[in-house]
Structure 1
Amino acid sequence: MTTTPEQFIAATKANLEAQFASVAALNKKAFEGLEQLMTLNVNAAKASLEESTAAAKQLLNAKDPQEFFNLTSAQVQPAAEKVLAYSRHLTSIATATQQEFTKAVETHIADTNTKVIGLIDEVTKNAPAGSEQAVVALKTVVGNINAGYEQLSKTAKQAQQTLEDNLNKATQQFTQAAEKATAKKK
C-alpha cells in the first residue's frame, strides 16, 4: 500500500478535529475555573459586607474608648483567618484549573504523538530506498519536540509548586503577624 495525498489529508483533518476538540475542552476548563473564582469572590464580598456591617454596629455601640479598642483588636484574628481561608481556596481553584489544563494538554500531545509516529511508520513502509536517514531525522525531530515539551511541563509544574509554597509562606507570615498584633493589644 502506498501513502497517498488522501491519507495525508485524512490525517491532517483528523488532527485539526482533535485540536478543535482540545481547544473546546480547554475553554470549558477555563470557564469552569473562572466560574469558581467568581463564586468565591461574590461569596467573600457578601460575607465581608455582612461582617463589616455587624462590626460597625458593635463599634458604634462601644461605651468607652477601651471597649472600642478591645472590639477592634478582637476583629484582627478572625479577619486574618478569613484572608488565609480565602487565599487557600483561591490557590485550590488555581491549582485544580492548572492541573486540568496540564492533563488535557498532555493527553492531546500524547494522542498527536501517537498519530505522528503512526504516520511516519506508514510512510516508512513505503519510502523509497535510501530515505532511511530522512526517516530517522524525522523521528529524531519528533523525539526532540517531545523531550522539549516534557521539560517545559516539568518546569511549569515546578513553577506552580513554588507559587503555592510562596503563597502559603506569605499567608502564614501574615497570620503570625496578626496573632502577634492581637496578643500585644490584649
Structure 2
Amino acid sequence: MFAIPEQFSNATKANFESQFAMFSNLTSKAFEGMEKLVELNMTAVKATLEESAATTRQLLSAKDPQEFFSLTSAQAQPTAEKAMSYGRQVAAIATGTQAEFTRAAEQQVAETSRKVISLVDEVTKNAPAGSENLVAVVKASLTNANAGYEHLSKTAKQAAEAVETNVTTAMNQFAQAAQGAAARATKQ
C-alpha cells in the first residue's frame, strides 16, 4: 500500500529533474542564438563602417555634382542587397532558435507523457478493485491532453512557417523596390 506514494514521489522527482534539464537546454539554445546574433551584428557594423569610410572618400573626391549623384545612386543597389542579406541572416537565426525550442519542448512533452502513462499503468496494477472507471477516466484525460498538445504544436509550426513566408515575401518586395529605385537613379 505504501508503494503508491513512493511511486508518486519518485515520479515527481524525475519530472523535476527532467524539467530542469529542459530549462538548461533551452537557456543554452537561447544563448547560442544570441551569440550568433551578436556576431552577425558585430560583423555587419564593422563592414558598414569600412564601407561608409570608403564611400565617403569617393563622394568627397567627386569633381562635380553629376559625379557625386552618380556615385550616390551607384550605392543604392549594393546597400539594399546587404540589408536584405542581413535580414535573411537574422531570420535564419531566429528560425533556427525557434526550431530548437520547439524540438526540445516536443521531446520534453513526449518524455513526460510517457512517464505519466507508465506511472498510471504502474499505479493501476495496485489499484483496488472497482476503480477501473477512474483509471479509464485518467487515461482518457491523458490521451486528450496529448491530442490537444499535438494540435497546439501543429498550429504553432504553421504560424512559424507563415511568419517565415511573410518575411521572405517582404524581403523580396523590398529587393524589387530597391532595384527599381537604383535603376531609376542610374537613368537620371
1:4 is aligned to 4
Provide structure 2 residue ranges, at least 5 long, that are not aligned to the other structure: none
Residue 54 of structure 2 is aligned to residue 54 of structure 1: yes
CA–CA separation in structure 2 for the residues paired with 1:15 and 1:185: 63
User: What SS does the aligned partner of 2:3 have?
Assistant: coil
TM-score by length of 2: 0.95
1:38 is aligned to 38
1:67 is aligned to 67
RMSD across aligned C-alpha pairs, in angstroms?
Answer: 1.2
Question: How far 1:140 moved relative to its partner?
Answer: 1.4
Provide structure 1 residue ranges, at least 5 long, that are not aligned to the other structure: none
Map 1:1-186 → 2, pairs under 5 A: 3-186=3-186
CA–CA separation in structure 2 for the residues paired with 1:32 and 1:157: 21
Contact 1:3–1:122 under 8 Å retained in 2? no
| 20-29 or 45-54: bigger deviation | 45-54
CA–CA separation in structure 1 for the residues paired with 2:106 and 2:65: 61
Spell out structure 1 runs of 4+ moving beyond 2 A.
1-4
TM-score by length of 1: 0.96
Contact 2:29–2:101 under 8 Å retained in 1? yes
Contact 1:2–1:126 under 8 Å retained in 2? no
Contact 1:76–1:178 under 8 Å retained in 2? yes
Contact 2:22–2:104 under 8 Å retained in 1? yes
Q: Deviations over 1:3-48 (max 9, x none)?
A: 3311211111111111111100010001100111111111111111
CA–CA separation in structure 2 for the residues paired with 1:145 and 1:185: 59
AA aligned opposite 2:150: E
Determine what percentage of the aligned residue pairs are the same residue: 59
Question: How far 1:2 moved relative to its partner?
Answer: 6.9
AA aligned opposite 1:46: K
